[in-house]
Structure 1
Amino acid sequence: MNQTQILAVRSAGEPDAEQLAGMLIGLTDLSLYFRFQTAIGRPPRPSLLLRMLCPTGAAWVATRGDAIVGHAMWAWTGADTAELAVLISEAEQRRGLGVRMLSIAAADAVAAGALNFLFVVSPANDLTIRMIRRRWPAAAVERDGTLLNFVVPAVLPDQAEEAADVVDEEIRGLERGEVPTAGELRPMDDVVPAV
Structure 2
Amino acid sequence: MGDRSDSAADAAIRADDRLMRAVAAGDDEAFGRVITAESPRLTRFVAAVLCDLGEAEEVVQEALVRLWRNADAWEPRARIGTWLHQVAYRLSIDRLRRRRPHVDIDDLDDVLEDDAPSPERQLSRIEDVRLVHEALDRMPDRQRAVIVLAHFQELGQAEASAVMGMSEHAYESLLARARRRLRGLLAGQRDEDGEDWT
> Which structure has the greater CA radius of gyration?
2
More strand, by proportion: 1
For the superposition of Structure 1 and Structure 2, which TM-score range results when normalised by the shorter chain? under 0.3
More helix, by proportion: 2
Superposition TM-score, scaled by structure 2 size: 0.27
